[in-house]
Amino acid sequence: MTQQELDAALQLIQNRFDTVNLLYIRKVARQIKKIGELNQSSINRLVIMSEFAENVADITRALAVATGLTVQDVNDLYTVAAQDTYTDPRFTRAFASGLTVPVRQQAQVEQYTRAVAQQTAQAIENLSNTTAIAAPYRAAVDRAIMAVSTGLTSYTEATRDAVREIGYSGLQVHYQSGYHKRLDTAIRQNILDGTHQIAQHSADLVGESLGYNAVELSAHAHSAPDHEPVQGRIFLKEEFDKMQAGLACVDINGRHYKGFKRPIGEWHCQHFAMPFSTEFSKPRYNEQQLQDFEKQNHEGCEVDGKHLTIYQAQQHMRQLETEVRRWKDTAVMAQIAGDDTLRRQCQKNINALVAKYGQIAALSGLTEHRNRMTVQGFKPIKVKQ
């Protein structure tokens, strides 16, 4: 599976949860607007809370459907990730020499794939079950009721903070530690982690069955600084184990490396430790390629008088993509709630963020991915900056 294919699969899943998030935003915004059309004599808390309960039930059902469909997708995605191991060109020479993967190892790959798929499915269901729907929604409704009951002259201003908070935060997963994260981000990371686990473990089992005695780390442009020195290098298994434990290690060419805390393949790392045979395998990268990667990364660019590596510029662009999506969600909610002032504020923020995004892309030479800033239901408006 190529990175492009994985990204496409993840985008389909994200679109599914974006639809649920839009439903949530619309339900809350419409009810807040409806409450604002009432007056002190006509407001009926029982009727309002009945509609609130119906809306929460609708959102919860939609979330359950999206979760179920995603669990099916995860099974398909993980199966492909495991099967791709057997066709990896870096095993070709070993297979051509007559080495084969025993049935026992193949069964272990299948068993592990099912186990991780079940684990990810449970995690996704837990995330959907711990997603805050009712609490922030009710807080917004209570604020709206209070604004009408007290006869405030500016109902829109009184409810603006609630609209902004719900639109910007979206559906949030709340953890026992008190930490919270947007639902789409949490699910995406769970699936990415599972896909990487499947691919890595499957490759490890195949390499073990073929008698491979080392690993070659993948390499890419714009690497994070902690992993940049070791990417593309080859390590005997015992030295790689030291690396993963945070200890100093040595590659097969005698180069020494300091230990680092973040293990390869974990904590958002996209590097892959491919089994390598000092007998059958050929290095995928040469010294010049790795030096070019590092040189290009550190040449970087200047943004607002500050030097950034290309890695840092890339991370900044990812953050801007997320911020734009958040403010677009808020703009959608403001439009439905009838708050034109907040909608204009959102558009100003969006324009500034998009301009900064384009500036960094131009200075760094990185590719823009404006599709990542798309939000369902958003309609831009013209504003004075």
CA distance 182 to 97: 50
pLDDT of residue 82: 85
Same domain, 159 and 59: yes
pTM above 0.95, yes or no: no
194-to-51, 147, 265 alpha-carbon distances in Å? 39, 47, 11
Q: pLDDT per residue over 133-189, tens digit each?
A: 999 999 999 999 999 988 877 889 889 999 999 999 999 998 888 888 889 889 988
What's the total number of domains in the chain? 3
Arithmetic mean of pLDDT over the chain? 91
Asked whether residue 281 is assigned to any structural domain, the reply reads no
Mean pLDDT, residues 70-88: 85
pLDDT of residue 94: 67
pLDDT of residue 92: 66
Q: Which of 210, 233, 267 represents a domain boundary (last residue)?
A: 210
Same domain, 115 and 145: yes
Asked whether residue 283 is assigned to any structural domain, the reply reads no
Q: Which domain holds residue 247?
A: 213-276
Q: Where are the alpha helices (DSSP H) in 84-182?
A: 92-96, 103-129, 134-149, 155-169
Kindly report the backbone phi and psi dihedral angles of residue 269, in degrees, each rounded to the nearest multiple of 5, phi listed first: -80, 135
Mean pLDDT, residues 255-281: 91
Strand partners for 8: none
Same domain, 124 and 19: yes
Same domain, 54 and 116: yes
Same domain, 201 and 266: no
Place of tokens 């030097």: 307
Same domain, 253 and 110: no
Same domain, 22 and 139: yes
CA 328 to chain CA centroid, nearest Å: 18
pLDDT of residue 185: 87
Other Cβ atoms less than 10 A from the Cβ of 91: the count is 23
Same domain, 123 and 271: no
pLDDT of residue 59: 96
- Residue with more model confidence, 137 or 106: 137
pLDDT of residue 154: 86
202-to-10, 79, 102 alpha-carbon distances in Å? 21, 11, 13
Same domain, 101 and 248: no
Q: pLDDT per residue over 11-63, tens digit each?
A: 889 899 999 999 999 999 999 999 999 888 888 999 999 999 999 999 999 99
Same domain, 245 and 352: no
Same domain, 382 and 247: no
pLDDT of residue 96: 66
Same domain, 113 and 236: no
